[in-house]
Structure 1
Amino acid sequence: MARRVVSAGLSFAVAVPGLAACFAESSPNNAVKEFLVGWQTGDYTAAARRTDGDVREVGQALENAGLQLDAASIRFSLQKLTTTGDTADAKFHVEVDLGDNSPLWQYDNDLPLHLVDGEWKVRWSPSVIHPELRAGQRFAVDATSEGRQPILDRNGDPLQEEATLYVAGVVPATLKDRETLCEQLFQLTGFAQDRLLSRIVSAPPQSFVPLVTFGRAKYAQLRDRLEGITGLQIDKKQQPVAPGQPTEIIGKVGAITAESEQQLGGPQRAGDTLGQDGLQKAYQDQLTGSTGTRVITYDLKTGGQVAELAKWEGRLNTSVKTTLDKRVQRAADAAVGGSVPALLVAVGTGSGDILAVGSREFRQERDALAGRFPPGTTFSVVAAEGLIEAGVDPKQKVPCPADRTVGGARFQQAAGPSGTAPTITGDFAQGCVTALAALARRVEGDALARSATRFGIGVDWSLPLRSYSGSVPRARDDAAKARIITGQTVRVSPLSMALVAGAVASGTWRPPTLVTAPSAPDLTSEVAPVTPPKPVPLDPGVLGKLRSLMRAGVTAGPASAAAVPGDQVYGVVSAVSYTEKKRQRTLSWFVGWRDGVAVAVLAETPNPAVPAQMAGQFFRGLPPAS
């Protein structure tokens, strides 16, 4: 969306192919050259001297044409020059850069010449500027936009509320001192005075011209001073800019500021609002569309439109449809609404659709989608796939001591499963670190890496917002494998773990989806689009055992707090401590699913029952499956 703006010193560099070379002999050539070059470079007096009109009036007319078009540049190329006795005609091509992301206006015209006292002169009339421009008329550029479209959930419900924006603007024909108005507005807002004035000068005289848009708080702050600017009018308009939950995923919308105008390269005529983060920023271009532009002529006396010289339809603004579900989001918000810092990410088990992102004291995009946290023994869901493929039997008995050393690395367990000889299933359900670490000798490091890849850990996703699929270090020895199995050296996001649960539930790992239409964000997104990975079916022979392990986590382990009466919930919990930026943190996880919805819950607490309780509350709050 870069604006084609060329500074005044550069915009009129001569761009007429062969223009200078073809003017060697005494002919109308010199008159054509000096007129077009003077006009193009802004030396209007020099151009006017090569006409038969009043020098001052002609020079002013040429200058006014550029101002009325708010042209970033006007360039000419000579097409043909013919001479017949004491008259001549030069056919030339005109390119007018209308600036502000507007189109390039091109047209052809004729330059009539005749001899006056032995000197070739351009026969002056306004039609020299454009073939349809007449005396008593002026140019104007009429730019229109359709405002901002909403972001929608999967059911077509808007994910933001309408809010009032205050648009400060003018009707040019009613202004007595537009220069003073622009100076005062500059002092209040920082918007470039010359750009404000150019926008007024180039607009249709009888139209309301928006200059600056304010949100409610900023308008309240400046209201008295704005009302003191003579000729300034305030127009209220409703736009879908107040985000609902998940607010950081949807994103905030603000009015265009002087700083953001510079970034965008000119007044944002395609809707005076700017997405500041989240999907509002990633899909700014789609939500606001692009400006429709008309070049028209107006009668100076009546102010009425005479003719439409050119028209470009703007690109329609469109709503953005997401996979989010407002009903599921309400359940997520309620589940994490207590006093413990927590995150909850919910996805569809059979689709990878992101249904909800709930948070308390965590960031939704930075932490829920793109966070890098150790998963603890919840990662044993992924590791178990490799272990089972390697021949490990979940019914095998593996003790769960309080302390165990594997390959020189020490692992500790606060409390083990009941009984003297628990099975791997019991160790899994209880999240027994020492027992799971002992299994490192039964699997190769490459097998663990392949399992992680099958569950999407470390693959590239195609989301319009920042996200992190996870990473697993290379395992060169038993100690390294044990740390991977127990999720100590692995890093994942809550989203990646919700997708792991969804894969076990459905039998296929699927990449995450957040937006279904349009298919890709525009270039304002900070995230470069990538080709989404393909779904990965899991081994049916392994799948049943994985599901049994996760069912045991709810029926015979601390994940039982997530149980819903009369319904089957699958899940596993863990608690993990680690050092982050020299600060010790302890996190607890629940990873599981119920009835087509998979979740990962992360809470800042040493008690793994807490995220399990949050998951249970979330499951109970879900709308009935359709």
Structure 2
Amino acid sequence: MTGKARRAVAAALTLVATAPLLSACLEEPSAHEAVRDFLVGWQTGDYAAAARRTDGDEKVVRRALEDAKVQLDAASFRFRLTGLRGGQGDRDEQAEADFAAEVDLGENNPLWEYDGKLPLRLVNGQWKVHWSPSVLHPELHEGQRFAVDIKPQGRNPIQDRTGEPLQQETTLYVANVTPAELKNPSEVCERLAKVTGFPQDRLLSRIRSARPDAAVPLATFGGRRYAQLESQLKAIPGITIAKDPQPLAPDSPKQIVGIVSAVTADLQQQLGGPQRAGDTVGRTGLQKAYQEYLTGSTETSVITLDVKTTKKVAELHKWEGRPTSPVRTTLDRGVQKAADDALLGVTPGMLVAVQASTGEVRAVGATKEYHQEKDALAGRFHPGSAFSLMAVEGLIKAGTNFKQKLACPAERSVGGARFRQSGPPAPSTPTVQGAFATGCVTALTSLARKVDGAELAAGAAKFGLGTHWNLPLSTFSGSMRPLKGDAATARAIAGQNVLVSPLTMALVAGAVASPTGTWHPPVLVTDPKEPDPSAETKPVTPPAQIKLDDRTVATLRTLMRAGVTSGSAAAAAAPGDPVYGVTATAVRGRKPLAWFVGWQGDTAVAVLMESTDPAAGATVAGRFFRGLRAGL
């Protein structure tokens, strides 16, 4: 440290002393000056300067100060002088100073704070700190040393709604050493650093700060990586390998559950956090969102050891660590299997299933072309004419008779906007109800002249469109451009200026299917309530449930039942409770999309398939409902 920097630290230590101490600095000889120089040297790492201010052997003192930092694996020491008794008059030969210490132990632990005392003696006209190990800490004595005792906690699982884990156990391989058994710790760390990439100095610090008789984890490997390095690791003297089974391999839905990685040197550098060897880190999905709950925090103790026996003498401070806890989701294994099976071997697509009566997410399925979180929960897709479901309330208010005749031409112009019907042909006697059942976009868009744009937007809001959802993963509730004029309203009914996710539309179906006709916000995790442990006591206000108009619900149920019995959603029919639903077509870029939005019993679904077949979504929905019934 430069002389200028040392003077700045010395000034800081001087300024925190009390007023009498400041005046005492002007008297010679001064005990205060000795205290200041000792603490400044200790704090800045100038151990030689600190040692010169003691009455002990300078080499012994310097080594003790160096060892204290190593044994605590401390990032830094900071001191504050809090009092001085004696040492300010000509007759004093003894004095005592009080100081407050702050030791940064790193590893995401709080600061270790303690109060210390410095006894002083007047030696040949100069004040000296009377040296003994208790200068470092009042409870450290001859023949003892510091150590840091670490007790990591295992990772907890992500669970389904019944409490069953949604992961399979995976074996990690942990490279350990026992410090007391190492002949040359520096060589071990040098060789291990070359193999793993972990910094050599950090590996060595872990060893030196640990209990000599404790197994110290230095590096962790997954099965594949360990197989590559096994021979090199076993060639390092003192390294032992322990198998550590942990719930890491995700079950379906894998991208929702998320993946977990052992902490490697590269990963530690990317994260820039306090992770240590043996830890696991959630990289995606719920594993990442709830990392702090699933792993808790490490229990850490600062202790003293008997140097000869290596036995613990005293515990100077302990951080209990935050307990780990599993994460309980709303996912259902049976529903998830039905979703996965329904999508097996089909064109690219995805399926989201929710419990209609609660909004709880039961399953999220996707083929390899789509991502369960980024697309099924947070994707942005045009809903096609399925959005017309949200226009029903406005149509009712406008006095629409759903049994009145309504032509379904191949093309239609509304307010200057042109629409083409690409779905199945209209029934022989087309009606408004028939237009919903067949998803006839040219017929449905003609109703835009009856619906006020503001009424349509208000009706969509009752289905949660644009609502902020309190979910731990990325989601998209939908958006709609301002509706000005018949053309914009017609485009909304056709789903052309509206964006939704499959989750959005599953909740729309759930609102109509729920026994009370209520839209429920989505729920994916029931415990804990918040991903961040620090937010446990903060009030969380989830989106409110929205009760739909009874007449709107009754009309939608009639329309969606007709979609399966006499419309384009017939392929969704399945044994058991009646199936309700509608189909719709849309385009994303150049990819044709086929929707099914509906329900059976208390299970509401949205299926979105990449297909030119308008009934592709309904076909997958039918497979899903049949598979669900077979698994009951």
Instruction: With the length of structure 2 as denominator, give the TM-score of the two structures.
Output: 0.93
Cα distance, 1:377–1:303 mapped onto 2, change above 3 Å:
same
Contact kept in structure 2, 1:261 and 1:268, CA below 8 Å = yes
Distance verdict in 2 for CA 1:416–1:441, change over 3 Å:
farther
User: How far apart, in 2, do the equivalents of 1:166 and 1:270 lie?
Assistant: 11
Query: For 1:161, what is the secondary structure of its paired residue?
Result: strand
Contact between 1:400 and 1:432, CA under 8 Å: does it hold in 2? yes
Give, in angstroms, the shift of residue 265 of structure 1: 4.1
Whether the 8 Å CA contact 1:385–1:542 is kept in 2: the answer is yes
**2:446 corresponds to 1:438:** yes
Does the Cα contact within 8 Å between 1:400 and 1:416 map onto a contact in 2?
no
Q: Could you tell me how far apart the structure 1 residues matched to 2:526 and 2:165 are?
A: 15
Q: Which moved more, 1:154-163 or 1:224-233?
A: 224-233
Cα offsets for 1:406-460 (capped at 9, x unmatched): 1111111145555443111111100101100111101011111111111011111
User: Distance between the aligned counterparts of 2:491 and 2:25, measured in 1?
Assistant: 82
Instruction: State which drifts further: 182-191 or 464-473.
Output: 182-191
Confirm or deny: 8 A CA contact 1:417 1:426 kept in the other structure. no
AA partner of residue 77 (structure 1): R
Question: Within 1, Cα distance between the matches of 2:205 and 2:56?
Answer: 27
How far apart, CA to CA, are the structure 2 residues paired with 1:427 and 1:264? 54
Q: Distance in 1 between matches of 2:576 and 2:265?
A: 59
Shift of 1:524: 11
Q: How much does 1:469 deviate?
A: 0.5
Q: CA deviation at 1:624?
A: 8.1
Q: What's the secondary structure of 1:577's corresponding residue?
A: strand
What are the superposed Cα offsets for residues 37-62 of structure 1, whole Å, 9 maximum, x if unpaired? 11111111111111111100111001
CA gap of 1:587–1:134, structure 2 versus 1, over 3 A, is same
> Which piece of structure 1 moves more, 332-341 or 176-185?
176-185
Equivalent in the alignment of 2:383: 375
The 1-side partners of 2:119 and 2:496 are apart by 83
Instruction: After TM superposition, give the deviation of residue 260 of structure 1 in Å.
Output: 3.0
Q: Aligned partners of 1:220, 1:182: CA distance in 2, in Å?
A: 20
Paired amino acid for 1:327: G
**Residue aligning to 1:4:** none
The answer to whether 1:410 aligns with 2:410 is: no
Give CA-to-partner distance per residue, 1:1-33, whole Å, 9 cap, x none: xxxxxxxx99x9555343594522212122111
Structure 1 residue aligned with 2:48: 45
Corresponding residue for 1:619?
625
Measured in 2, the distance between the counterparts of 1:58 and 1:623 equals 77
Q: Specify the SS of the correspondent of 1:622.
A: helix
- Between the aligned partners of 1:142 and 1:402, the Cα distance in structure 2 is 77
Alignment match, 1:602:
608
User: Aligned to 1:303, what secondary structure does the other structure show?
Assistant: coil
Counterpart secondary structure, 2:55:
coil
How far does residue 185 in structure 1 lie from its aligned partner after superposition? 2.0
Give, in whole Å, the separation in 2 of the partners of 1:200 and 1:218.
23
2:296 is aligned, of 289, 294, 312, to 289
User: 1:150·1:240 contact (CA, 8 Å) conserved in 2?
Assistant: yes
The structure 1 residue matched to 2:591, chosen from 577, 585, 593, is: 585
Residue 570 of structure 1: aligned partner: 580
The aligned residue for residue 18 of structure 1 is 16
Distance of aligned partners of 1:578 and 1:268 in 2 relative to their CA distance in 1, 3 Å threshold: closer
Are residues 1:109 and 2:111 paired?
no
- Provide the TM-score with structure 1 as the length reference: 0.94
Most deviating of 93-102 and 590-599: 93-102
When structure 1 is superposed on structure 2, of 13-22 and 299-308 the one drifting more is 13-22
Name structure 2 gaps, 5 residues minimum.
Answer: none
Are 1:73 and 2:73 matched, yes or no? no
- Counterpart CA distance in 1 for 2:61 and 2:415 is 91
1:213 match: 220
**187, 193, 202: which one aligns with 2:194:** 187
What do the CA deviations read for 1:111-138 (whole angstroms, capped 9, x no partner)? 1111222221111111111111111111
Letter in 1 for 2:35: V
Identical columns (%) = 58
Tell me the SS of whatever aligns to 1:268.
coil
Cα displacement (A) at 1:608: 2.3
Distance change (3 Å), C-alpha of 1:270 and 1:570: farther
Q: How does 1:144-293 map to 2 (within 5 A)?
A: 144-269=151-276, 272-293=279-300
Between the aligned partners of 2:267 and 2:533, the Cα distance in structure 1 is 16
- Contact 1:285 1:524 (8 Å CA) reproduced: no
Distance across 2 between alignment mates of 1:408 and 1:530: 46
Aligned to 2:528: 518
Classify the secondary structure of the residue corresponding to 1:372. coil
Write the distance in 2 (CA, Å) between the matches of 1:608 and 1:409: 22
> Alpha-carbon deviations, 1:145-169, whole Å to 9, x = none?
2110000010111000011001112
Q: 1:486, 1:291 → 2: CA distance?
A: 55
SS of residue paired to 1:381: helix
Alignment of 1:448-463 (within 5 A): 448-463=456-471
Indicate the SS of the match to 2:499.
coil
**Counterpart for residue 334 of structure 2:** 327
For residues 205 and 623 of structure 1, the distance between their equivalents in structure 2, rounded to whole angstroms, comes to 60
Q: Deviations over 1:298-357 (max 9, x none)?
A: 111111111111111011010000010111101110010123111000001011101000
| Correspondence for 2:346 among 329, 339, 342 | 339
Q: Is 2:536 the counterpart of 1:539?
A: no
Q: Does the 8 Å contact 1:463/1:512 carry over to 2?
A: yes
Tell me how far apart the structure 2 counterparts of residues 375 and 18 of structure 1 sit (CA, whole Å). Answer: 67
Q: Which residue of 2 aligns with 1:384?
A: 392
For 1:521, the aligned partner's letter is: P
Query: What CA deviation, in whole Å up to 9, does each residue of 1:50-100 have, x standing for no partner?
Result: 111110011100110111011111111112111273111111111111111
Gaps of 5+ in 1: 1-8
What amino acid is the match of 1:65? A
SS of 1:558's equivalent in the other structure is: coil
CA contact (8 A) 2:249 2:259 kept: yes
Distance 1:383 1:103 in 2: 56
Amino acid at match of 2:437: A
Instruction: Output the amino acid matched with 1:64.
Output: D
* Aligned counterpart, 2:147: 140
Distance 1:621 1:416, change over 3 A: closer
